[in-house]
Chains A and B, each alone.
Chain A
Amino acid sequence: MSRHAPTTRAELMSRDVAPLPTNAPAQPFPEAARISLADVQLRRNMGKVTTTIRAKRAKAVAEMPDWEALREAGRAIKDRTLRHLDHYLIQLEQAVTRAGGKVHWAADAAEANRIIAGLVQSHQTKEVVKIKSLTTDELGLNEALREIGVEAFETDLAELIIQLAGERSSHILVPAIHKNRAEIRALFRRRLADTENLTDEPKALAAAARAHLRKKFLSAKVAISGANFGVAETGSICIVESEGNGRMCLTLPRVLISVMGIEKVIPSWRDLEVYLQLLPRSSTAERMNPYTSIWTGASAPGDGPEEFHLVLLDNGRTKVLADSFGRQALQCIRCSACLNVCPVYERTGGHAYNSVYPGPIGAILTPQLVGVHNAGSLPYASSLCGACYDACPVKINIPQVLVHLRGKVVEHKRESLSGRLAPEALAMKTLGKVFTSPKRFERFQKLGRLGQRLKIHNGMIESLPGQLGGWTAVRDVYPVAPETFREWWLRRSESKTSPNREGQS
């Protein structure tokens, strides 16, 4: 695994360096963003994609007269679940076990990988098929399985594409969005059999993937999935998908292992009626996605896996839970609506976040999973525009959590002397003092005006020193006014009280 910080797009996208949370610390966002912002193809793809999905989502949501009520219920159910997470997890465990499934607990990624590897090895197979699962990406599961000689075949088209390309996902929902059809065609011709005459029509590319994966589905003994929801009341696990590869993996292999973050549990069967409305419209912007599969425990003979294992994963989620304000990040249902409305994500793409979860949700979830000191740049990767909050189907107040986490980043920095003496920290401390006193504030204004005299050209300042140079590298800045407002006000008040004085008003 390469440990030097990426300097090119190819390096940024490569699977050679695992993203957070498996690999920390990661390259800071501003540096990574600088690389990806320069990629013309990426900017074009991302701009087109996000603009298209935004419009579709808006249309799908506008159709629903009770959308706000659904959002509120979606939020409240998650809030209830998180506040009583232990209660619902016990209920889930009992229900799954009653239905013939086996429940495993993993405190961290290493443990989860060990459990899954053990299960796979016990079935003496060298190949598993996978349904797209961000949770398994979090674990670095594919790499862990490769180490024991097991190949994990991604069956989602986009996951297949990036797996063949050796690249990391750039989007929660459409992981290969950074690739256009020409790039995909070239990739398939290189890596798949019988593709000499392949065109770059999406239909043809999808057909090539279908043929390639069919064989795998029909022969695999073990399938690994994530889970969108786990219903505590009934022990049912729910997977929402589009292509049908999920159905293939859930029905054909003998053994099914589902990895589920502990926050994915929902209290009752009835609660699915809320999320199965919120998720499709927020993610693919459809009334309903093509396939949703719900099963409980181990199947009846011939109708699915004989053996079902549910791996319940912590891996930092209890850390998030412990922050009573930040824990709302665990409400996330992985729809990606926030990514699609984010003006930052739209331009930098997902790789710049160096995180399994990119975009706005990633900026609040990853630092809490891995500790703010390991992802200190992510809470700042936002202009706090608030578009994500408006789009979030479960009303996670992402902007407020970002500010909350910035507080934690600063708190952590100031634990050390070098942190307290850093230029920004000193400047902020000084300004804090300036603002608590009107007199100091006025002196500060006058000082600024004095100091800027030589720097004003054409009414504007074109360069600032130090960290502030980031502003003037690309923008002019307005100088302190020749007469501040309070100076004008004072003058005006004096001229009013002594009418003999000259004075403009």
Chain B
Amino acid sequence: MSANSAREAVFGKIRSALKDVPKSEQPDDVAVDRSYLTASDESRPELIRQFIERVEEYRAKVRTTSPDDLPRVIAESCADNGIRSLVVPADLPDGWAPTDLTLLREPGLSIDQLEQAGGALTACAVGIAQTGTVVLDAGPGQGRRAITLLPDHHLCVIFEDQIVGLVPEAIARLHDAASRPDRPITFISGPSATSDIELNRVEGVHGPRRLEVIVVASSA
């Protein structure tokens, strides 16, 4: 069957299958009751606390800091984890990257370089407190997807005002990136894991075996 005729065949079958739907009915005529929670009513401090607690429950480490202290905490984390070479995106904010190790700055790093690197440092788009999730959307300071996938350690910086309570709030914030081919989105909730062997959760199958999140207090 030619490409077009397959398409026509499928649509023909769909239309015939839906003959019980009145012709006058529009998609939006089918009511969708959205009485689920779309925004959290927790206080900001409570949300931050919950975010940290839930990220830690996935066995990802969390550090907190102030904007001024951020570079020091980043450097400390790299030292604590024995990271000697660090991948960073091209537009990583000035001053973030430690100076006492090998910096591998994008763009143009090869797969091998990413594989050999000790870790990667990025910003993120939004964090979800209820689920302990950080989300990347190829926005500022995040770089391409491979850099948070191949190196074994992902160090992710999030500012307090990037943390929302619930999933619907995060989805709303990501709407701009959606539909853009150059803005793929990745939700990250802890290091990778599998429960395929007798339902025992094992961390770090593919993807970074260590995830660390640094929560930065919003300035003033």
Contacts and interface: CB of A to CB of B under 8 A. Distances in A.
Is there any pair of Cβ atoms, one from A and one from B, under 8 angstroms apart in the complex? yes
A213 B171 contact: no
Interface of B: 1, 3, 6-7, 9-11, 13-18, 20-21, 25-28, 30-38, 54, 58, 107, 111, 115, 128, 130-133, 138, 144-146, 149, 167-168, 170-172, 175, 178-200, 202, 204-207
Interface in A454-492: none
Contacts of A66: 35-37
A80 B196 contact: no
Contact of A202 (B21, B175, B197): B197
A106 interface: yes
A85 B196 contact: no
Nearest to A214: B206
A79 B30 contact: yes
Given A234-B178, A236-B178, A321 B17 contact: yes
B207 A107 contact: no
Contacts, number: 270
Interface stretch (A12-20, A204-212, A385-393): A204-212
18 contacts: A45-B198, A84-B18, A84-B26, A85-B18, A155-B206, A209-B205, A214-B206, A233-B179, A236-B179, A252-B146, A267-B27, A287-B54, A290-B191, A295-B181, A296-B181, A299-B181, A300-B181, A319-B17
Interface of A: 45, 48-49, 52-53, 65-66, 69-70, 72-73, 76-77, 79-80, 83-89, 95, 99-100, 104-107, 111, 155-158, 161, 174-177, 180-181, 184, 202-203, 205-206, 209-210, 213-214, 217-218, 231, 233-236, 242-245, 247-248, 250-252, 262, 267, 269-270, 272-274, 276-277, 280, 284, 286-300, 302-304, 312, 314, 318-319, 321-322, 324, 327
Given A83-B30, A217-B206, A322 B16 contact: yes
A227 to B, nearest CB: 14
A107 B9 contact: yes
Contact of B15 (A65, A86, A107, A294): A86
A269 B197 contact: no
Nearest to B58: A290
Contact of A324 (B20, B132, B179): B20
A318 B14 contact: yes
Q: Which 3 A-B pairs rank lowest in CB-CB distance, beginning with the nearest?
A: A244-B207, A234-B179, A244-B206
Given A180-B198, A269-B171, A80 B18 contact: no
A321 B16 CA distance: 9
Contacts of A277: 36, 167
Nearest to A275: B167
